[in-house]
Every structure is written in C-alpha cells, then in structure tokens.
Amino acid sequence: PLVREPLMGRLEKLASVSWHAEPTFPSEMEAEIAPITKPQDLTSEVGTRRDSLQEEVEEAIGRAEAIQPGWNAMGGEKRALLLEAAADAFEAHTDEFLSLCQREAGKTLVDAVLELREAVDFLRYYAAEARHLCAEPFLLPGPTGEENRLSLAGRGVFATISPWNFPLAIFIGPAAAALAAGNAVVAKPAEQTPLIAALAVKLCHEAGIPEKVLQLLPGAGDVGEFITSDPRLAGVAFTGSTDTARAINRSLAAREGPIATFIAETGGQNAMIVDSSALPEQVTRDVVASAFQSAGQRCSALRMLYLQDDIYDETLAMIQGAFEALEIGDPVQLKVDVGPVIDPDAKAALERHIARRKKAGRRVWRRKLPKGTGAGCFVAPTIIELDSILDLKRENFGPVLHVARFGGDQLGQIIDDINATGFGLTLGLHSRIEETRRFVEARARVGNFYVNRNQIGAVVESQPFGGEGLSGTGPKAGGPHYVARFATERVVCIDTTAAGGNASLLAS
C-alpha cells in the first residue's frame, strides 16, 4: 500500500512519453511504451524488433575484433570504472527498466525490482573482479634470478546469447564478465525481450563503454547461427535451453579458427525433498515461492516436490491452501503474485503437458484463471501428482509443480533418481536432521543445494549460481571463477640476473 500510488503515478508518466531505444546497431529498432490506460488490456504492443542481417553480424564482429586489443590494453582498473558507471546509469533509470520488465517480459513488480538489483550487482561484482584479476599481473614464485608473472587478458570477441526470463540481469551479467576480462562483446538478447537489452546497451554506451566494444545484435535463432558460425569468435556465453546449447556447441566445433570457449547455463529438473522433521509453515512458504514465483519461469524453479509419506496429506493440504490464495493476473497490478508466461508457444507446451498427465489418470489440481485474462498468455497454476521425477521427460518451464510421496527408507533412491535425470541445477531439502543434510549433500550432483529455505533467487557473490551435466558447463555466475573463464592466461618469465642467465653460464 505504501508504494502503490507513487508507483502507479510514475508508470503513467513513463507511459505518456514515447521512448526511443536508440541502439547504435541496428539503428531502426525502437520502442514506444504505449499508455497504460487499460491495465486489463493484456495484448497491446510494446515495441518492434528489427532482426540483424547476416552482413550486419559480420560487420559487427569485424568492428569488435578491430577494437578489442585497445579495450584489453586499457587495463582492468579502467574497465572496472566503466562497468561501475554503467551500474550507476542502470540505477538512475530504474523506472524505465521496471516498466519494461513488466510490459515486455510480463514480470511482477517484485520480480522486476529483483531483476534490476541483480543486473546492478553483476556489473559491480565483475568490475571488482576486473580490478582483482586484470589490473596487475600476479607474481609467481620462481628460482632465484627469475621473475615470473601471470596476467589475464581478453580472449578476443565474445558473443553472449541470453534468455527472456532474466532479460536484463542475464543479458548484462555475462556481457559484463566478458568486458571485465578484456573482450569485445556482441550481444544477442532473446527474441522476446530486445527492448530491455537495447536500453541496457544504450546506457552502457552513455556511461563510456565504447560502442564497438559492446554491440547489440537483436534477432531470433537464425541471427544466433550467423553469430556462432563466425570463425573470428573466441567464445560464447549462452543461457537457455539444453537443446540450443548443444546446437551452439556443434556450430562452434564446425568452424575454422580458434577453439572457442563455451560457457553454458541451461535447464533444470529441480527437486525439493521434505521429510517429517520439517516445519510445515516454512515448507509451505518456500514451496510456493520456489514453484510459482516468476510464474515458475526460472531455471532454478522447483518442479518436483518429494514429501515423506507420514506428512504427505497434511503438507499437501497446506500447500494447496497457499496455492489457492495466489493472485493471478496483470503483473502491472501490485497485488498480483503470478503473471503470464512469456508467449503463446510456452503456454501451449505447458497446456499439452498438463493435458497428457490428466489423460494418464494423474491427480491434477488447477487454479481457475480470473476473468479478463483470456486474451493474455496465462497458464493457471497447477499441481500434478506423480510417482517419481523419472516420470518427467523434459523441463516444464512455467507454474506447474509435481509432487510425489516417499518412504523414510527411500532417500538414497530418490537422490539416485534425481541424479539420473542428468540435470544438476538446484535441489532443496527441508529437514531438521543434520545427518540427512550431510547424506543428501554428499550424494546429490547439483550446483546449488538449498537447505530449509526456498531454492530460487541466488544472490550475486554470496550464492554463485550454475549447474552441471545437462544444466551447464559452469563456472558459476556471480562467483569467483566466472570472469577468469572469459580470459586467457599469459606467463612472462624474465631473467633478472645482472649479466643474464646465458652470460653467467658461459662465465662459469
């Protein structure tokens, strides 16, 4: 209630000015934020995207290649200052970003605020990493009379290919890391969310990052292919589906030119295990947040909940109570917890999945969609009962939670089943038994393990994020090894004895 009025006022003010994205490349892409006169008008156009042409991709990579040595030579300290200036500019444009996150990506206000926070955190953290890793060489121990120095340098031109579910944070995060390490970047945002990316790039340029060092290449999969088939690329940082990661990997492998670095953050089949020692209220809150916040459109989101059989009925009833209380609808309205999914294809895929389970005779609980949401891409939050995580063949990216029961002696089997999916992103455990925690921690092959809390919203620097196996290559975003992966290492050895090593050899 405190923020409601001023915020709506700001949104309307924003809506009345037409905003021109002015990306330097390609120049025609623009957006007009249409007036929010009818909050229930869920299908209005937010803007238009013009896809990059193949020759534009080639020119952009050429420009990036030409400028990269200068950007690298500038050094880590100066690059850090520019990334920090970009972070300041992002914060100064909070209103525009929040509005775009809501209108272009369908985010709730809470999610939009978290998104901007994470983007700014990435910029500042990777700036700090540029200072730490790339400003001065590391002096290594060595034999007397020798100086050995290790320094990190940009690999060359990096491409970043980013997802629509974090259209700002995961658009700018990998790009910022690549820039911090001394690379030039060509950035392809998700085809669904190019306007947020265009504003981000524009602000980076205004903050002083040269236009040729960070170039925007909007488009769909074909533009991605133009980029990843270019032999001049030194690497690709990709976040998205496992299938697309495989396609990019094939495309990189088929090229001539340098062996590319490939960093992929992909999908998950994330479980949570709740045993009978858990606190039911806390479990309820954390399950609902993990499965339904962001309409379940996080790769970290909970898909498969295992409840121990002696608490199954009671805990499921509590979760269903909280599930019934979720507000669904236009994310511009502050009371709304669950907004739409990203597009009609996403909605159709989720509906097919739910229909198949119903047909197979599974118990399914669904919320009713409120009136007026028919025209938008809404999927009614759903809970489906299954026997095992192995009943799920693919990631279901939306507000759909699966639930199964397990007996006290089946814990090891459940972890083996979770590992057998091949994904390894997040895992939740609610248990007050220390031994159980240690057992699960030792046996589960996942990147991020959350105990007695929800399993989304990893915080930059405190909770580096990323998975293994089908979930990605690592290193973890927002962690201490991330920026280094975008860099190449160079070692310089200098003989520092007065006469030089060879001369003294001859003299002896």
Q: Report, as residue numbers or ranges, the catalytic residues.
A: 265, 299
- In whole angstroms, the minimum distance from the beta carbon of 17 to ligand UN1 comes to 31
- In whole angstroms, the minimum distance from the beta carbon of 241 to ligand UN1 comes to 10
- Report d(CA 310, CA 400) in Å as an integer: 24
Q: Does 52 bind ligand UN1 (CB under 6 A)?
A: no
- C-alpha triplet 344, 348, 352: angle, nearest 5°: 175
CB nearer to ligand UN1: pick between 376 and 467: 467
Q: Which stretch binds ligand UN1 (CB under 6 A): 50-58, 136-144, 198-206, 297-305?
A: 297-305
- Report d(CA 178, CA 157) in Å as an integer: 9
DSSP annotation of 191 reads T
**Strand stretches in 309-458, DSSP E:** 364-366, 382-385, 400-406, 423-424, 426-430, 448-451
CB nearer to ligand UN1: pick between 36 and 458: 458
Q: Residue 26: which of 165, 161, 187 has the closest Cα?
A: 187
Binding mask 432-471 for ligand UN1 (x = CB under 6 A): ------------------------xxx------x------
CB nearer to ligand UN1: pick between 188 and 298: 298
Q: How many residues bind ligand UN1 (CB under 6 A)?
A: 12
CB nearer to ligand UN1: pick between 60 and 418: 418
Q: Residue 224: which of 161, 174, 175 has the closest Cα?
A: 161
Q: Does 298 bind ligand UN1 (CB under 6 A)?
A: yes
Footprint of ligand UN1 on residues 221-240 (CB under 6 A)?
Answer: 239
Among 102, 300, 373, 454, binds ligand UN1 (CB under 6 A): 300
Q: Which stretch binds ligand UN1 (CB under 6 A): 65-73, 219-227, 298-306, 319-327?
A: 298-306
- C-alpha triplet 461, 463, 467: angle, nearest 5°: 120
**Residue 26: is the preceding peptide bond cis (ω within 30°)?**
yes
- In whole angstroms, the minimum distance from the beta carbon of 313 to ligand UN1 comes to 30
- Report d(CA 78, CA 208) in Å as an integer: 11
Q: Does 299 bind ligand UN1 (CB under 6 A)?
A: yes
Helix 242-254 with 221-228: angle, nearest 10 deg: 30
- In whole angstroms, the minimum distance from the beta carbon of 165 to ligand UN1 comes to 5
The 10 Å CB-count burial string (b at 16+, else e) for 257-277 is eeebbbbbbbbbbbbbbbbbe
Contacts of 7 (CB under 8 A, 6+ apart): 109, 334
Binding mask 81-100 for ligand UN1 (x = CB under 6 A): --------------------
Q: Which stretch binds ligand UN1 (CB under 6 A): 96-104, 230-238, 278-286, 294-302?
A: 294-302
Footprint of ligand UN1 on residues 149-208 (CB under 6 A)?
Answer: 163, 165-166, 170
| Burial of 467 (C-beta count, 10 Å sphere; 0-12/13-18/19+) | buried
CB nearer to ligand UN1: pick between 177 and 311: 177
CB nearer to ligand UN1: pick between 66 and 459: 459
- In whole angstroms, the minimum distance from the beta carbon of 380 to ligand UN1 comes to 21
- Report d(CA 445, CA 222) in Å as an integer: 34
Q: What does the binding site for ligand UN1 look like in residue numbers (CB under 6 A)?
A: 163, 165-166, 170, 239, 298-300, 456-458, 465
